[in-house]
Amino acid sequence: MTDHIADTTPDVSPRSDTREIACLRAQIGRLETLALRLHDEAKEAEVSHALRRAALESWVAETETRLSGVEAENALLRHEIAELHASTSWRLTAPLRWLRLRLP
C-alpha cells in the first residue's frame, strides 16, 4: 500500500520547484505587462471616445441651430406667400394668369 502512495506523488525536487517558480514569475511579469498595456489602451480609447462624442454633440447642436433658422425662414416665406395670394392685386390679376396658362 505504501508503494501505491509513493507512485502517485509528483516528483518534487528543489531543482524542479525552482524552475517552476521562475517560469511562473516570468509568466506573471508578462501578464502584468499585458495588463498595463491593456489599461493604457483602454484609457486611450476612453479619451478618443470622449473627443468623438464631444465633436458629435457639437455637430448636432450646430445642425439643430441651422435647422431652426431654416424652419423660421420657411415659416416666414409661407406667410409672405399667403399674404401675396390674399392681396387685391393677386386676385385682380388672376384672370390674366389663367389666360396666360391657356394660350400657347
Contact 95, 101 (CB under 8 A): no
Q: What pTM was estimated for this model as a whole? A: 0.54
- Summarised one tens digit per residue, pLDDT across range 48-77 is 999 999 999 999 999 999 999 999 999 999
d(CA 104, CA 102): 7
Residue bearing cell 525552482: 18
According to the model, what pLDDT value does residue 5 have?
53
